Amino acid sequence: MTIQEEIQNGESRTLEYKATLPHDSQKWIKTIVAFANGAGGKFVLGVNNQREFVGLEKSVDLFELKDNIADTIGQMCDPQIMFDITAEMVGDAQLLIVNVFPGNATPYFIKSLGKENGTFIRLGATTRNADWTALEELSNRGRHVYYDEFACPSVKVEDEDIKYLCKDFSERADRKITRKDLENLNLIIGNKKDTATNAYAILLGKHDYTSRIQCARFRGTERVDFLDKKEYEGPLCEQIDEAYKFVLNYLSMAVEIDGIVHKEKYELPHKAIRELIINAVIHRNYQISSSVQVAVYDDRVEISSPGTIYGSLTLEEAMEGRSSIRNKTLARTLEKIDMLEGWGSGLKRIFSQCEEYGIPYPVFVEIGDMLRVNFYRPSYKNIGDKSAIKQDVGDKSAIKQDVGDKSAINYKEKILEYLEEHAEARTQEISLYIGLKLSRTKDYLSELVEEGNIIANGANKNRTYSLKK
């Protein structure tokens, strides 16, 4: 992808641009730090907020500017950040590109602010101070250790729980799993007194209240009216089983003719659904106070997990099959019991199943500190926007929210909240964040423009929105 194409896609986790270098070094050096703590990134000078290539001012001494940037990064940051600086012409515009490489010695921070206040991370297109959970995860990464392998002193190792795990794992793996296997997997730290790890607690459903899966079936394509909702706690493998069944219960069946035999199959590949749910619980950040959420809409199955792509991996690299494991012990355990087939191969299997079905791949998006997957239902195109897929929910039907006139206010507040964190954003980005269709999102954006709360920049496909200053 050329720099022009990257710029036109807008700022992201790995891209930020400015017309000129801010005089206050902290305003841009924190982005350099955030890139180093994440997947790396490009800091581009010579591009304004409207994505126009204005170039550096003619009076700027290019070599002096490069030296100034390099010296500032070296003096203000700790540990040493790896980067290079290049100049590139786009038409008549002279750009300067600082390419920051992802670091292995995390956390990187601004020396004058100290590690606690000077560590920054990238969430979407914004740079933020790392909170204590992000700082701890960065520290673990720098030491090449994993949260799920740490001791969990609040959970006792009980014989009853050991028997349950061995029995359940043996049945799933179709071979005998022993207490010794649990120790070898680092679920139990064996010493004078057995100690549970976080992975052990998570697998038993004893970690904390966030270690659960919330499932919902919504009417239509927006997160407004519930038709059904469930919350699954307890042992992790059972949560996966129940969430998987929940989704299948609300998928339509299609008839496939194989010769003279008529076969029924789900409209979406069921193995891919299960794999996506497993990925969500394996790769989520268990230090974030949130749950994995699985939602079924008329047009899609949506799976959200707390935590962005782990480490220095970008979303594009993950799509290509590269893997970066946040919870190594959990991943090894599920692989041991045949619930997970080889690290990094899950997405390839999902894509292959989609190709067999002749349907589009799931869409992966990072929204703040969350990774979301949208798996679009082929049955929806046969229904149109006016009617929902009918489900037999009986007496359990809709648990309706009291939306009324408050819904517009709530959605507008969410839009303003998003724009407070982003210098500018496109309609599609805002739509994903607030969970509404593009058409509805455009309506609320127009109202906010008319009310004087936000401004529209550009026209048509290139239009973006920002807060009115």
- Using CA atoms, how far apart are residues 249 and 266, in angstroms rounded to an integer? 10
- Using CA atoms, how far apart are residues 393 and 400, in angstroms rounded to an integer? 14
Q: Does residue 410 surpass a pLDDT of 60? A: yes
- pLDDT tens per residue, range 39-68: 999 999 999 999 999 999 989 999 999 999
Run of H or E residues at 43: strand 41-45
- pLDDT tens per residue, range 129-174: 999 999 999 999 999 999 999 999 999 999 999 999 999 999 999 9
Residue 292 banded pLDDT, cuts 50, 70, 90: very high
Residue 403 banded pLDDT, cuts 50, 70, 90: very low
Q: Does residue 456 surpass a pLDDT of 70? A: yes
406-467 has which fold? Arc Repressor Mutant, subunit A (1.10.10)
Domain boundaries, the chain: 3-143, 148-204, 213-396, 406-467
Could you give the dihedral angle defined by the CA atoms of residues 215, 407, 380 and 214, in that order, rounded to the nearest 10 degrees? -10
Choices 3.30.950.30, 3.90.1310.10, 3.40.50.2000, 3.40.50.720: CATH for 3-143: 3.30.950.30
Residue 226 banded pLDDT, cuts 50, 70, 90: very high
Which pLDDT belongs to residue 309?
86
Instruction: Say whether pTM exceeds 0.85.
Output: no
Beta carbons of 267 and 257 less than 8 angstroms apart: no
The number of angstroms, rounded, from the C-alpha of 317 to the middle of its chain's C-alpha atoms is 14
- Using CA atoms, how far apart are residues 217 and 147, in angstroms rounded to an integer? 32
Which pLDDT belongs to residue 324?
83
- Using CA atoms, how far apart are residues 426 and 368, in angstroms rounded to an integer? 15
Choices 3.30.565.60, 1.10.540.10, 3.40.190.10, 3.30.70.930: CATH for 213-396: 3.30.565.60
**What secondary structure letter does DSSP report for 249?**
H
DSSP string, 278-342: HHHHHHS-TTSS--EEEEE-SSEEEEEEES-S-TT--HHHHHTT----S-HHHHHHHHHTTSS-S
Listed in sequence order, the DSSP H helices in 153-311 are 159-173, 179-184, 198-204, 236-249, 270-283
Residue with tokens 């936000």, as numbered in its chain: 454
- pLDDT tens per residue, range 238-278: 999 999 999 999 998 876 656 555 567 899 999 999 999 99
